[in-house]
Amino acid sequence: MKIQYYIECSKPLTKTSGTAYVCADNHYYYNNPRAAAAVVILNESNKILVSKRAIEPRKGTYDLPGGFIEPNGQLKML
């Protein structure tokens, strides 16, 4: 599928690598659907633990702890 415009701002996308695209506003889009996992951790006061992204895209924004599952990786219930 050819990716031409970012879905939120409708600006044209430029391909930057095999699966990555970016618009003039620095919105990134990755055309590589992969399995991922994230967790929601609440403390006794019902406050949510969040992490702050250290890398792009969206460096410095808050996020839930998690990440992509590596190819041939396995999900395990602990």
Minimal distance in Å, beta carbon 55 to Zn ion?
19
Minimal distance in Å, beta carbon 75 to Zn ion?
33
Tokens of 33: 């659907």
Minimal distance in Å, beta carbon 23 to Zn ion?
3
The position carrying tokens 């095999």 is 18
Cα separation of 68 and 43, whole Å? Answer: 25
Beta bridge pairs of residue 52: 62
Residues that bind Zn ion (CB under 5 A): 6, 9, 11, 23, 25, 27
- Choose between 7 and 75: whose C-beta lies nearer to Zn ion: 7
